[in-house]
Amino acid sequence: MGQESSQSPPGPERLADVFSVRDIDLADDSVRYYGEPVADATEVMRQVGPTFRKRGYRVRLRTESGGHVLVASERSLGVDGVPWLNVVLAVATLLSTLYAGTRWYGLTVVDDPAVILRAWPFAVAVLGILAVHEFGHYALSRHHEVQASLPYFIPLPFNVIGTLGAVIRMQDNIPDRRALFDIGVAGPLAGLVATVVVTAIGVTLDPIYVAGGLITRIELGYPPLIQGIAALLGEPLAYSDPHLLPNPVVIGGWVGAFVTFLNLIPVGQLDGAHISRSLVGERMDAVQFVVPVFLFCLAGYLLLFEGGRGAPLWGFWAIIALVFSRAGTVTPLAETPLGPGRWALGVLTLVLGALCFVPVPIVVAV
């Protein structure tokens, strides 16, 4: 491969302690090292990951056709060109949340499609919280020089909130537990701040009168965080008239709290798993074992003692937790322990996440 530079991929002799290279395939922006590991996969990554990272590459260990290959790709922290997929999904999600918002305002777009624009406060509340959450991750990814995508918003036109949320993709090796913690915790904390602001604004706005339809039959369970904000401001979250509903901006705050709790479930690639993995290290497997057991027990309790209200939701998430836990969590290259400040912040975030939990978050009355 000739003389190495700080920006060139490492030669095979640099990998010999943990990976025996028998062939190398060079491409424009990647290098593939074919060979056999002489240590377990985790140790291989811990040994070779920092070497590639210093030279501007991210690396993955894969199995292909019965053999092993280290795939090193050039890292890029910037955004190349216009991220059209991100833009298209964001616009589609804006339209889907506007449409969902018309239901909360008791509007119909059949006779006058332009009324969809009157649902902008709901759409801004929901998308604002999601965007703040994801850009919290993105900002700390850039701070730690970890390659990450811009947010991908997920539209869902025909549900009551218009979206399945948003995600970013971390396309890089995480250098250590501190970076994993910072990136993981930044989203929920930023989203919580946005949720508090949106909820505080929403409860002070006038309620909405809706004559009928699906929305009047939806019962929302407000978590302690939302109830606490409303109580501090002396505002109600329910009214004696069943057709009088909280301002849809409040629903945006409810969405923020619900999404925050789900993201803080400590399994797989969720934010809660990143935070918990940073705190407890390799003991994360025990945490991931407990989570689906708890969710199945919660679903069983609701089925037996609460008429089944909320049981399908948590039964579904128990299955999701099982699947996510098998997919594994992010393993940082270095097991650098966290200091007391990050420990305190991590515990605080998980406690705040617990304040976003309610056993029966949403029910459609018959």
d(CA 11, CA 17): 12
pLDDT over threshold 50, residue 1: no
Domain map of the chain by residue range? Answer: 12-74, 84-364
pLDDT over threshold 90, residue 265: yes
Query: Strand 244-245 vs strand 362-364: parallel, antiparallel, or unpaired?
Result: unpaired
Q: How confident is the model at residue 80 (pLDDT cuts 50, 70, 90)?
A: confident
d(CA 258, CA 139): 23
Cβ neighbours around 352 below 10 Å, total: 19
For 306-326, what is each residue's pLDDT tens digit?
Answer: 999 999 999 999 999 999 998
With a pLDDT cut of 90, the percent of the chain lying above it is 79
With a pLDDT cut of 70, the percent of the chain lying above it is 98
pLDDT over threshold 90, residue 120: yes
- Both tokens of 318, joined, read 């128990």
pLDDT of residue 3: 41
For 164-202, what is each residue's pLDDT tens digit?
Answer: 999 999 889 999 999 999 999 999 999 999 999 999 999
- Both tokens of 65, joined, read 């056709």
For 93-118, what is each residue's pLDDT tens digit?
Answer: 999 999 999 999 999 998 899 999 99
pLDDT over threshold 50, residue 359: yes
Cβ atoms of 314 and 302 within 8 Å: the answer is yes
Closest CA to 173 of 72, 253, 92, 263: 72
d(CA 280, CA 82): 39
For the chain, the average pLDDT equals 93
Mean pLDDT of 348-353: 95
For 195-224, what is each residue's pLDDT tens digit?
Answer: 999 999 999 999 999 987 788 889 999 999
pLDDT over threshold 90, residue 138: yes
Torsion of CA 271, 142, 330, 86, to 10 degrees: 70
pLDDT of residue 4: 42
pLDDT of residue 366: 67
pTM of the model: 0.92
pLDDT of residue 27: 82
CATH number for region 12-74: 3.90.1070
Mean pLDDT of 75-104: 93
**Which one-letter amino acid corresponds to residue 198?**
V
